[in-house]
Structure formats: structure tokens, C-alpha cells
Structure 1
């Protein structure tokens, strides 16, 4: 009887030890690097090497800074809320772009169509164990290795929104945004209070539409 009790206790402790932890508020720091088209090579050196994401509930805020600009993409997938904050010192501009439902639907057309092939390897990333998958995009035909963990649950952000959460939380992955390939690696995940105002724009930002932003970028 003692052996049965001890065996049951051990089995329970092992199960609990591998249970998923849900983190509802905190931050993620990513190390990022880019592959850019030929016409953007000149600005590659000025691109940020780190992205900081704050999250609380279903809201996330992904910010990065470089010598030329700083940006902050705020989103809540459940409410389909998205806002982009841009600060461009050389233009003396602080812009706030509120995406409409139609804007979001238009952007979704460029989203990748991903398939996942499970691998045998595992890897430790930021103290979490990640399982290897080969992620392929049907639209481009490109594939890249990625590592996902089921040890934690964290809401999707602008970097991870393309991945199916059934595979877990992405720790290391490659994605494409605005014609650039972005490789991201989680450096740190912290449970902490999110700074006030992380999911809104201050009054010194000029409100513009997505179409106005495209016009400023020379796109129509």
C-alpha cells in the first residue's frame, strides 16, 4: 500500500511539475535580426535589435527603438483593436494610426499561410524547453525552424500572431513583415506590472488614418 501511495504521489508531482503556467501580465524581450530587400539595405544597420512587448489580459504592446524612429504596435485580437504609434525625430513627428476593421481585413490578406512539421529536437530558450518544428509558408514556399513551448501560456502579440497556439508559445521563430524577414529569439519573460499608458496614445500624437500613412510612405 505504501508503495502505491508513494508511486501515486510521485506521479502527481511529475504531472504538476510539467503543468502549463498561464502568465496574464508581464513583459517579453526579444532579440531580433532582419533580412531586407535590396532597396532597403542602406537602412538595415539602423534597424532595432530588440523588441520589448508588454502584455496584460488580451492586450499587447510591442515597441522598438532605432536611431531613425521608434514604434509601438498595440493590439487586442479579441476586440480586433490595433493602433500603431510612430515617433520620427528627423520629421519632428509623433503619429498615431488607428486601424479600422476594413484596414485589418486588408492586412490579413498578406498574412502567411503556415503549416507545421514536428521535429525530434528540443532546445532551452530563456529557461523554457522548446520543441522544434519546421514552419512553412504556403504563399512564399519558404520554410524555417522554430521552437515552441507548452510550459507557459501568453497572449499573442504582433510578432507571434501568425502562429497557431495549439503548438505552444513561440520562443524562437522567423516571420515576414512589410517585405522584411524577421528572426526573433526570446531573451527574457518577466511577470511584472505593465507601465501605465502602455495600451494607449498620449495627447501629443497626431491621429492619422492607415491610408494617410501609406501615402506618406509612397504607397497607395
Structure 2
């Protein structure tokens, strides 16, 4: 019954974290939508159809919420983007199943341990307008020999930690960037940003949910229960 949930949780987590800083217009509450493309290895290709090509993250201060529909399951990820604590909610109505999984900073660091580490961010002076924002191109590299580029704007400032810590050295808000999560490489480009009511969000487990560890959820998925 939990078939595909492991991959669905991975897909949800792919876009649950990032960093925006040092901009002009501060937006502390709203939603941001990204178009997402992936560069998958042959081993990762089987999950291609399960990865979202568009993601919408709602945010309120340092808290964010992302929802993914994966077959019969609705997967919701709520994160504190400063403390790195999180809550994953898995709803499978056809199985009358509601599962909650709490995450800690230690869990986050363990998940990111094998991903490339970015450094050497350099502004190139090249300019481009993305959506309605004036952006500048940056280059950067990782500790495994990879090189990348991103585009950042100083037109807006979103809450610190909204999409992860990878780009904290960038003097602006990344609106097109490449990152990794659990070995999966993705490129995200902003499609919409709305200043609107969102939340408040909480990491408290809702009534009726069965609290489990992620290891227990993966065992259930592997057993096809």
C-alpha cells in the first residue's frame, strides 16, 4: 500500500530547502513557485516520472510547507528552515492511513552528507531579467569537480533558509540555480512569487497521525504493506 512513498518523500524533500538574502523588497509571507528539471544518472532514471516538474512552497517567516501528490498518497513537508527541524505527513485515504515523521538537524545533515559541497561563488557581471526580476549570473563549483551557474536578484529578499543553505555566500536571492538532494541533481527557475497570507505552520503532530521513524516508513514501503 505504501508503494512509491519512499520516492515520493525524496521528491518532496528535494525542494523543501534553500537560501535567499541581502535583497531590497522583503517578503516574509507568501508562496514561491519553481519550474524544476533534473539531470539523472542511469540508476536514477526509474524515478523520473515521480519527480515534480513544478513545485510550490508556502512560507511564513522561517517556516515553510510543501505538498506532493504521489499516487494515492498526499505527502506534506513542513520545515523550520533555520533550526532544520521538520515534519513529514503522509496521508493515504484509501488505506485509512495517516503517518507523521519528525526530522531533526542531525537527520538533515545526515541526508546531505554525501551531496556535493558548493563554494567559490563569483559574480560575473552578466545581467538578465528572469520573470520580472533583474538578475546577475554567478559561477560556483563543488568539492567533486563540478562547475555550475546561478542567477540571483537584489530586487527581493525572502526569509533566510527558505530553500536551503547552499547559497548563503551569494549576495542576493537565487532565482535560478542548480543543487543536489540525496544525489539527485536538479535545476530550479522561479515562475511565480506571491506575497499573500500563508500559515502559520507548526511542527506539532496533528491528531490522528501515527508517529513513526523514517526507517519504519521505508520498511513498510519495502514490504509493500
Is the structural similarity TM-score above 0.5?
yes
How far apart, in 2, do the equivalents of 1:68 and 1:213 lie?
16
Deviation at 1:189, TM superposition (A): 0.7
Name the counterpart of 1:40. 44
Larger RCO (CA within 8 A; separation ≥ 6): 2
1:125 aligns with 2:130: yes
Deviation at 1:204, TM superposition (A): 4.3
Root-mean-square deviation over aligned CA pairs: 2.8
How far apart, in 2, do the equivalents of 1:209 and 1:149 lie?
39
Deviation at 1:84, TM superposition (A): 2.2
Name the counterpart of 2:56. 52
How far apart, in 1, do the equivalents of 2:148 and 2:48 lie?
21
The alignment partner of 1:194 has SS state of: coil
Name the counterpart of 1:63. 67
How has the CA–CA distance of structure 1 residues 133 and 37 changed in structure 2, closer, same or farther, with 3 Å as cutoff? same
How has the CA–CA distance of structure 1 residues 180 and 26 changed in structure 2, closer, same or farther, with 3 Å as cutoff? same
Q: Greater Rg, structure 1 or structure 2?
A: 1
For the 8 Å contact 1:86–1:96, the answer to whether it is kept is yes
Normalised by the size of structure 2, how large is the TM-score? 0.74
Which structure shows the bigger proportion of residues in helix conformation? 1
For the 8 Å contact 2:26–2:157, the answer to whether it is kept is yes
How far apart, in 1, do the equivalents of 2:163 and 2:94 lie?
27
* 2:148 counterpart (144, 147, 168): 144
Deviation at 1:157, TM superposition (A): 4.9
Name the counterpart of 2:172. 168
For the 8 Å contact 2:175–2:189, the answer to whether it is kept is yes
Gaps of 5+ in 1: 1-18
Deviation at 1:168, TM superposition (A): 1.3
How has the CA–CA distance of structure 1 residues 66 and 209 changed in structure 2, closer, same or farther, with 3 Å as cutoff? closer
Normalised by the size of structure 1, how large is the TM-score? 0.76
Gaps of 5+ in 2: 1-22
Deviation at 1:20, TM superposition (A): 0.5
**Count, aligned residues:** 199
How far apart, in 2, do the equivalents of 1:202 and 1:133 lie?
42
Q: Structure 1 stretch 143-152 or stretch 88-97: which is displaced more?
A: 88-97
Deviation track 1:75-120 (CA, whole Å, cap 9, x = no partner) reads 2233332222334678765432101343234234235321212212
How far apart, in 2, do the equivalents of 1:89 and 1:141 lie?
45
How has the CA–CA distance of structure 1 residues 70 and 39 changed in structure 2, closer, same or farther, with 3 Å as cutoff? farther
